[in-house]
Amino acid sequence: MTPAPDPRPAAPPLRARCPVTHLRHVGLAVPDLGRQVDFYAGAWGLTVVAEDSGIAFLAAEGSPESFVVRLRRAPERRLDLLSFGAADTAAVDALAARMLTCDVQVIGRPGPLRTPGGGHGFRFFDVDGRTVEVSADVAPRRRGPGEGRDAVPVSLSHLAVESPDIDRTRAWYERHLGLVPAGTLGSARTGEVAHFLEADRRRPALTVTRGPRTALHHVSFAMRGPDASARGSGRVARAGFRPTDASGPLPAGVRAAVRFLDPHGNTVEYTEGPAPLTGAPGPQTRGPSGRAATAVRGDGAAGAREPHPAPDRGCFIAPPV
C-alpha cells in the first residue's frame, strides 16, 4: 500500500532559514586600551567612530559597516566576539528560535543593539566557547573625510580562529549559521590543517585552523590592491611594527597577505583582496567551489617571529558589553 503524501511543506534548507550574509565586525579585549586604539587608528589606518568609558569602535574607510573592530579594556587579552550580519530581523529571530531548540547556549534573546549603527541582534556561544553575534538592520555608516585614502583598509576581509578539532568547528558553523565550505588546506604529510568557510554572496568569512587550543589566529583586512597594501605595510613598519615571518592559510580568492602583531600580540594582516590565485608554494586542496586554498606569504622579507596564538581566556564567558 502506498503511503499518503505528507501534506506538510518540506522544511526549507538551512541557508534559507538562517541567511548569514557576511562577517560584520570583531571585538578584542585588551589591558591597555589606549595603546591598542593608537595602533588601529594610527598605524593600521582605521577610523575611530565612537568611544565610551573603556570601549572604542573603529571603522574601515570604504566599508558601509558602522564599525569593523571593537576594542574593550579588560584585565586579560581575549577575543570578545565575532559578529555576522543577517538579511533582516526576521532572519535573526528565526535563527534565535532555532538555536533555542538545539544544543546551543544562547546568551541573550534578540533585541535592540546599543552600539554604533544600532540594529537588532543576539549572542550565543559557538562549539568552542567563542561569543558570536548575529544582527540585522544596522544603519550603514556615513563616510567621513578619510574616504578616498587608498593605503588604509577598506573592509574586514575574514577572521581565522584556531581549534583543536577543526572538523567539529566547521560542522558547527555549517549547521547553525549556514556557512559554506570553500576549501581545505592540507597534504598527505600534514593531514587537514585548515578549513575555509564562506557566507552569502561568496564572501570569505571564517578560517578554522588546527591547533592545540581554542585561540584567535588572525584578523584580516582587505586593501584596495598590492600598491595600497605595500604603502600601508610601510606605514605600519615605520611606526615600529615589523612584519612577521610566518606563513598561513588564506581563503580562496585572497592573493597575498602581510602580517603584523598588534601591541597586545594579536596577529593582523593586510590582504590584497579577491584576486586570481597564483602558483604559490605550499600544500593545497580544492573545496566544493573548485577553487584552490593555499598558504602564501605576501612580503617575502624577514620579519618578527610570530608567536603561537595564546589560548583564548574568554571561552564560554560572555563579554559584559
User: What is the residue whose three cell numbers read 581549534?
Assistant: 163
* Residues whose CB falls within 8 Å of the CB of residue 9, separated by 6 or more in sequence, listed in order: none
**71, 120, 123 from 110: Cα distances, Å:** 23, 7, 8
Q: Is 230 exposed, middle or buried (0-12, 13-18, 19+ CB in 10 A)?
A: middle
Q: Which amino acid is at 73?
A: R
Nearest-CA neighbor of 72 among 267, 269, 314? 314
Q: What is the CA radius of gyration of the chain?
A: 19
Nearest to 157 by CA among 283, 243, 254: 254
pTM: 0.84
- The closest alpha carbon to 13, from 82, 109, 124, 98, belongs to 98
Helices (H), 160-225: 166-177
Query: What are the grid coordinates assigned to 172, written together?
Result: 558547527
Q: How many CB atoms lie within 10 A of CB 276?
A: 7
Of 114, 218, 80, 94, the C-alpha closest to 162 is 218
The one-letter amino acid at 55: I
- Provide the CA 158 distance to its chain's centre, in angstroms: 4
Distances in whole angstroms, Cα of residue 62 to Cα of each of 28, 142, 148, 224, 274: 22, 10, 8, 9, 15
Query: What is the DSSP annotation of 124-165?
Result: EE-TTS-EEEEEE-PPPPPP-TTTT-SSS--EEEEEEEEES-
pLDDT tens across the length of the chain (321 residues): 454 544 434 434 444 444 699 999 999 999 999 999 999 999 999 999 999 999 999 999 989 999 999 999 999 999 999 999 999 999 999 999 999 999 899 999 999 999 999 999 999 999 999 999 999 999 999 765 545 567 999 999 999 999 999 999 999 999 999 999 999 998 899 899 999 999 876 678 999 999 999 999 999 999 998 899 999 999 999 999 999 876 666 776 676 789 999 999 999 999 986 533 233 333 334 343 333 333 333 333 344 555 678 899 999 999 999
Contact (Cβ atoms closer than 8 angstroms) between residue 15 and residue 177: no
